[in-house]
Amino acid sequence: MDNQRRKFLKLAGAAALAGIGAPTLVRLNSSTALAAEHGATAEPHGKTIDPGPQGIRLGMVIDMRKFTEQPMLLDRAITACNEAHNIPLIDNAKSEIKWIWKTPFANAFPQQSSYHMAKNVKDSDFLVLCNHCDEPPCVRACPTQATFKLKTNGIVAMDYHRCIGCRFCMAACPYGARSFNWEDPRPYIKKYNKDFATRMRGVVEKCTFCSERLALGLEPACVEACQGTGAIVFGDLNNEQSEIRQLLDQEFAIQRNPSLGTKPSVFYIV
């Protein structure tokens, strides 16, 4: 009888010890394995570069040097977009609809210091639009999947049919690239492009990188408006032969607020 109890207590003790010790052992083993795996690729701080997603990733380079030389290009690009997409012109900061618009450097790049800034940068307006981020916060915020990232080309697209007008995406977008239709936009549209729809009251809208024009083999409307000047270069960021990549390889370009980790696809040469 006593013998059996003694045996039982021994076994129970051993099992308890094994139970407590096992997770530590597993953790120790796995961490050494992980360290060995990463050891080969570990680089000094600041040297590791995220390769980003593969496949076609459409992006844009806006060469502000060209726009500073010819400021009327800004309005030409904006008008081309407005006309192509039936965008209403509402003269009211609360209700206005913006796909592509101009703003001073300090507003476009609030994280950059504008203290003692070059005069030409200080005095000129920047062209801003949806950045078609790799990690779009608006897509995460959308409760109905009305906005989503296209797998084929990285465009952050909208399905206005599904938009319920909750404006979560507007709150989520750090670049103010989305506009809400507070009222019926049709009375504010001067000319209709009969190939494109308008929007209705109660939906959010934004730049689509002219998906509908790309399908026809055309460049986005703003790029076409600046044709020949090289002020806006559009193309596949993942194709080493593309014009946009060659430009980015040569010139130093900045993105709007990269510290947020949204990975914008629109670059600026200042």
Which residues of the chain form contacts with another protein (CB under 8 A)? 83-84, 86, 148, 150, 152-153, 155, 157-161, 189-200, 211-212, 215
Concatenating the DSSP letter of every residue in 15-31 gives HHHHHHHHHHHHHHHHH
Torsion sign, CA atoms 70, 72, 76, 77: positive
Three-class HEC string of 36-87: HHHHCCCCCCCCCCCCCCCCCCEEEEEEHHHHHHCCHHHHHHHHHHHHHCCC
Q: Please, what is the minimum distance in Å from the beta carbon of residue 208 to another protein?
A: 9
The residue (of 42 and 197) whose beta carbon lies closer to another protein is 197
Q: Please, what is the minimum distance in Å from the beta carbon of residue 148 to another protein?
A: 7
Q: Please, what is the minimum distance in Å from the beta carbon of residue 80 to another protein?
A: 9
Q: Please, what is the minimum distance in Å from the beta carbon of residue 201 to another protein?
A: 8
Q: Please, what is the minimum distance in Å from the beta carbon of residue 264 to another protein?
A: 21
Contact 244, 232 (CB under 8 A): no
Kindly state the DSSP code that residue 260 receives in the 8-state scheme.
G
The residue (of 19 and 187) whose beta carbon lies closer to another protein is 187
In one letter, which amino acid is 25?
L
Torsions phi, psi of 102, nearest 5?
-115, 145
The residue (of 124 and 198) whose beta carbon lies closer to another protein is 198
Residue 263's contacts (CB-CB under 8 Å, 6 or more residues apart) are: 52, 133, 134, 135, 255
The residue (of 75 and 123) whose beta carbon lies closer to another protein is 75
The residue (of 123 and 159) whose beta carbon lies closer to another protein is 159
The residue (of 1 and 216) whose beta carbon lies closer to another protein is 216
Q: Please, what is the minimum distance in Å from the beta carbon of residue 49 to another protein?
A: 28
